[in-house]
Amino acid sequence: MNLTQLLTHIAVGTTITLLVSFLLRNVFPKLTRKTPGDFDDFVLRTLSESILPFGIVVVLLLIQSDLGLSNDVQRAYDVVLRIFGTVVIVRFANRVGIRFLQGVAHRSGDDLQQLFISLQPLIKALIWMIGALVLFQSLGVKLAAIWALLSAGGIGIGLALKDPAQELFAYLMILLDKPFTVGQFINVGSTWATVERIGVRSTHLRSLRGEIVVMNNSALTNSTILNFADMNTRRMIYSLGVTYSTTVDQMKAIPAMVEEVINAVDNTNFSRCHFTEFGDSSLNFELVYYIDTRDYTTALNAQQAINLGIMEAFAQQGIEFAFPSQTLYLEDETRSGKES
């Protein structure tokens, strides 16, 4: 063992490590504070926290040849240093990479930020896997066997995670395509509900009755979704049928009566009311009006007020609503010269 050379390497490595640490903590931050963003400040801070363990690895590498270790011990010593150095570098890469992607997601909007939060553990695991492969390569391990093992394991994992992967891709489609967002009122099949939470595997909906409805993301993306969030007005169209005993003057007065009733109700706009057809048991009018609100309860209140107003106006004018019926007219037959 060359003690002088050993101490020299330790002194040089320690001095360089302390000098770089001083620059990163006290000098460079004064320069980065002048920049508009804070990402460079974060990188310097993370690097200053990692420089000490990294400097220790460098010092131990410098003195490796000065310790006079046997071949087996030196091989183990080298493996430990490589592992320790890989851990330091991967941790630094993880922190900086995650911080960079987090900033990109934050600038891109809430949906991408939520997606990044969900994928963050997967990104960290991927960086660790890359670091491990680089470490094995540096140690002389043949990666062909590892790739074969990963391929075989990947097939098994892929089969086992088929359904979770399907839900994950459906989750990505929801975040990127945005058929709905949290807080919007939607209809899926027989379910009418408000979106409360969009998860990686399922979406939580609050139904009109108040209970939570949990639906798989794949079921949502494979279904027809009616989204009422961007519906500024509701178009109401339906038919009114009156009896055939209604007079012509009453028929002429019905559109104006209906228009007056609709205009008297808040949040409504009359469009048209026309006598459209002679039905089997009724004279039919087609009525169209708009309700300028997104709130479902307010729309129902307006529709109810209009229906009751029409009933009241018809009753005052003696107009009767028709219902399915048939009238049978019989004629007296006079037969002469009946044959016996």
Q: pLDDT tens digits for 42-97?
A: 787 888 888 888 778 777 777 776 666 677 777 887 788 888 888 888 888 888 88
pLDDT band at 22 (very low <50, low <70, confident <90, very high): confident
* Cα–Cα–Cα angle for 114, 117, 121, rounded to 5 degrees: 150
* 340 pLDDT higher than 50: no
Taking the domains of the chain in order of start, what are their residue ranges? 3-160, 178-227, 234-316
291 three-state secondary structure: strand
For residues 250 and 97, what is the distance between their CA atoms, to the nearest angstrom?
77
Average pLDDT over residues 115-141: 77
pLDDT of residue 110: 61
Report strand pairing: 185-188 vs 268-278.
unpaired
CB 176 within 8 A of CB 118: no
pLDDT band at 329 (very low <50, low <70, confident <90, very high): low
Question: Which of 32-36, 72-76, 162-166, 199-203 is least confident?
Answer: 162-166
For residues 47 and 89, what is the distance between their CA atoms, to the nearest angstrom?
10
CATH 3.40.30.10 given to domain 234-316 = no
pLDDT band at 113 (very low <50, low <70, confident <90, very high): low
What tokens were used for 132? 């491990």
pLDDT of residue 246: 93
CATH fold of 178-227 reads SH3 type barrels. (2.30.30)
In percent, how much of the chain has pLDDT > 90? 21
pTM above 0.75, yes or no: no
What tokens were used for 126? 């991927």
* 304 pLDDT higher than 80: yes
pLDDT of residue 149: 64
CA distances from 8 to 11, 51, 68, 155, 294 (A): 5, 20, 16, 53, 78
Closest by Cα among 80, 87, 79 to 127: 87
pLDDT of residue 337: 47
CB 242 within 8 A of CB 319: yes
- Of the segments 118-132, 162-176, 238-252, which one has the largest average pLDDT value? 238-252
> What does 218-282 look like in DSSP terms, one character per residue?
HHHHTS-EEE-TT---EEEEEEEEE-TT--HHHHHHHHHHHHHHHHTSTTEEEEEEEEEEE-SS-
pLDDT of residue 50: 80
Q: Look-up: residue for tokens 């994928």? A: 119
Contacts of 96 (CB under 8 A, 6+ apart): 42, 43, 46
What tokens were used for 37? 């963003």
Q: Show contacts of 292-298: CB within 8 Å, 24+ apart.
A: 292/232, 292/233, 292/267, 292/268, 293/233, 293/234, 293/267, 294/185, 294/228, 294/229, 294/231, 294/232, 296/185, 296/228, 298/267
* Angle of the 296-316 helix axis to the 248-263 helix axis, nearest 10: 150
pLDDT of residue 24: 76
